[in-house]
Amino acid sequence: MSGSDHRTAAPVCLPEHVAIIMDGNGRWANMRGLPLLAGHRAGGEAVQRTVRAAIRRGVKWVTLYAFSSENWRRTPGEVADLTGLLRYYLRHKVAELSREGVRLRVIGDLSRFPDDVQNEARLAEKVTAGNDTLVLVLALSYGGRADIVQAAARMAQAVARGELEASAIDETVFATALQTAGMPDPDMVVRTSGECRLSNFLLWQSAYAELVFLETPWPDFDETHFDTVLDIYSRRERRFGARPVCK
């Protein structure tokens, strides 16, 4: 559904966890004749608006697809720009997030980033660990298939060591080996900029998520768009194969 499908009434049913594929930074910049870095910077500002909107509306978890495992295939210059912006936000915005009660969590293969970025990310997780207004999850160098594969390997290793019976592995046990262990599954996955695919994002976790696709490029995403997706969610019937439910 597009962002035009919006009602002004407050949502009756709020999602606990909203996951967002932030797409369209490059197209936003190209449409304005700006360098690609300008699009990524504007996307960073959209992240800040989204976090504030989530806090105001009472959403407890937001996961952002900030850097996919496939993004390493981009040009060295763009990877350097993205890494530089990540470094800046980790160094200069975490204190602000913490004051607003935001806890930061990172999933993905951080080992591919420079040491200082890894250290900043782990420090941000540590200093915000006691916050409980909102959990902001950054998916960095993350891929859904790799997440599932590494979970399967961990299960196999546990069986080989005699720590786990193969017959004991069910969906609940398997989920404990995923990088998202301890997190609620996303109730809704939002993708901006008109693309209608998951692009290897939270594949296991999104099995029952509501999918919302907006034409709006990510740098233009604001509180009004956040309200739009909450309204769309509130009007969906979530059945999970049974009767409609509203979490």
Q: Is the pLDDT of residue 12 over 90?
A: no
**Per-residue confidence (pLDDT) for residue 245, from 0 to 100:** 59
**Per-residue confidence (pLDDT) for residue 239, from 0 to 100:** 66
SS3 assignment, position 49:
helix
Give 48-73 pLDDT, tens digit per residue: 999 999 999 999 999 999 999 999 99
Mean pLDDT calculated for residue range 119-127: 97
Spacing of C-alpha 154 from chain mean position? 23
Mean pLDDT calculated for residue range 11-19: 87
73 labeled binding residue? no
Let me know: does 159 contact 205? Beta carbons within 8 Å: no
**Per-residue confidence (pLDDT) for residue 16, from 0 to 100:** 97
What's the predicted TM-score (pTM) here?
0.90
Give 30-42 pLDDT, tens digit per residue: 999 999 999 999 9
Domains and CATH numbers, the chain: 17-234 (3.40.1180.10)
Q: Is the pLDDT of residue 205 over 50?
A: yes
SS3 assignment, position 169:
coil
Let me know: does 13 contact 246? Beta carbons within 8 Å: yes
Distance between CA atoms of 181 and 185, rounded to whole angstroms?
Answer: 10
Give 89-113 pLDDT, tens digit per residue: 999 999 999 999 999 999 999 999 9
**Per-residue confidence (pLDDT) for residue 13, from 0 to 100:** 87
Residues that are catalytic: 23, 71
238: confidence class by pLDDT, cuts 50, 70, 90: confident
CB proximity list for 155: less than 8 A, separation 6 or greater: 164, 169, 173, 174, 177
Q: Is the pLDDT of residue 126 over 70?
A: yes
237: confidence class by pLDDT, cuts 50, 70, 90: confident
Average pLDDT, the chain: 92
SS3 assignment, position 8:
coil
61 labeled binding residue? no
CB atoms < 10 A from the CB of 181, how many?
A: 10
210 labeled binding residue? yes
Q: Is the pLDDT of residue 10 over 60?
A: no
187 labeled binding residue? no
